[in-house]
Amino acid sequence: MYSQGLIGADGSTEETQDFLDAFQKRIDAEEKIEPNDAMPEGYRKTLVRQIGQHAHSEIVGMLPEGNWITRAPSLRRKAALLAKVQDEGGHGLYLYSAAETLGVSREQMTEELLSGKAKYSSIFNYPTLSWADIGIIGWLVDGAAIMNQIPLCRCSYGPYARAMIRVCKEESFHQRQGYEIVMYLARGTEAQREMVQDALNRWWWPSLMMFGPHDADSAHSEQSMEWKIKRFSNDALRQKFIDATVPQAEFLGLTLPDPDLKWNAEKGGYDHGDIDWEEFWRVVKGNGVMNRDRIKARKKAWDDGAWVREAALAHADKRAARKQAAE
Ligand code: FAQ
């Protein structure tokens, strides 16, 4: 065992170098950190931020696709989409639970989302304009999510890593349902091909932005990689995603909207055009097309659900009181 550090009268902690070194040693030895283990405050805060934002993304991410459940073109498509959107809700719940193990409440996290303090993925601030968008979201957005989340299954924090295993299995089904929709449309009528190409043109660049800013502009990457929260940098994962997706687009006969996309034999990957980082930061800062609508919808759901939370708490109190009386 090692000393945690010094705790001041006001509850503040001063972490000793011995404590930080011993913690890093555990990380380097690939030990999992569990909720009751001593951990540096920075490690805890980074996880609360990332897991909280990840949870919000899953829940806000239900909105663009939920928009198409009533308009899915067949019963089969509707059943699959309904199941997918429900899965995303489940992912949000595992993630909120994982964050709660770090001493933050679901209420606090929701308040931070609604006040704009906590972020959620930029991708969910774009509108879903046609049925083809649902296919493209499954193919690209879930595809990018898997690329980013498979390494998180090896995250040093146990509860997050374990939640990610199930999430990734489900995301893999989501990606396939999207790819199947896209394949069907790409082999369909002229109008269907145009619709799916238009959706691809709109979602390609925002999907690349999901991986976050360039490594040079990524505030948290270096420390997060040292703590083995992140295993790969933003740019490395973006490159892997591009390399995996280009052959899929070629197979589908669709064109990725980047004239600078070119195989580079020397690096063994594709070169690509510049990402519009101004657009990325505009969306992240709350000024994308759908930001206000998304937060409004979350606020309404939170307010409308107040009576359910109150009833659940009252029920739990009643059961606890009955149990106590019986003992
Ligand atoms: N959008 O220093 P970094 C899904 C922020 S789930 C908005 O590089 P980090 C499933 C970042 O928070 C999609 N903000 O940050 C689904 C930070 O701001 P802060 C979500 C972004 O954390 C599919 C600042 O920029 N996935 O899609 C974005 O080291 C279909 C500096 O950035 C996850 O959350 C962005 N794209 O790396 C659901 C995965 N990128 O906090 C429904 C877990 C960066 O200082 C339908 N998260 N920012 O104010 C991660 O892997 C990481 O947090 C990154 C960012 C890679 C997203």
Query: Would you say the CB of residue 219 lies under 6 angstroms from ligand 1?
Result: yes
Query: Would you say the CB of residue 136 lies under 6 angstroms from ligand 1?
Result: no
Query: Would you say the CB of residue 209 lies under 6 angstroms from ligand 1?
Result: yes
Query: Would you say the CB of residue 50 lies under 6 angstroms from ligand 1?
Result: yes
Fold of 18-292: Ferritin (1.20.1260)
Alpha-carbon torsion, ordered 289, 295, 298, 302, to 10 deg: -170
Query: Would you say the CB of residue 9 lies under 6 angstroms from ligand 1?
Result: no
Ligand 1 centre from 104 Cα, in Å? Answer: 19
Query: Would you say the CB of residue 166 lies under 6 angstroms from ligand 1?
Result: no
pLDDT at 168 > cutoff 60: yes
Ligand 1 centre from 277 Cα, in Å? Answer: 14
pLDDT at 271 > cutoff 60: yes
The answer to whether the CB of 175 falls within 8 A of the CB of 134 is no
Name the more confident of 13 and 167. Answer: 167
Distance of alpha carbon 80 from the chain centroid: 20
pLDDT tens profile 198-225: 999 999 999 999 999 999 999 999 999 9
Distances, alpha carbon 18 to alpha carbons 3, 46, 53, 194, 227, in Å: 7, 21, 31, 62, 16
pLDDT tens profile 36-72: 999 999 999 999 999 999 999 999 999 999 999 999 9
Phi, psi of 295 (to 5 degrees): -70, -35
Ligand 1 centre from 91 Cα, in Å? Answer: 15
The model's confidence at residue 1, banded by pLDDT at 50, 70 and 90, is very low
State which amino acid sits at residue 6. L
Ligand 1 centre from 68 Cα, in Å? Answer: 25
Query: Would you say the CB of residue 46 lies under 6 angstroms from ligand 1?
Result: no
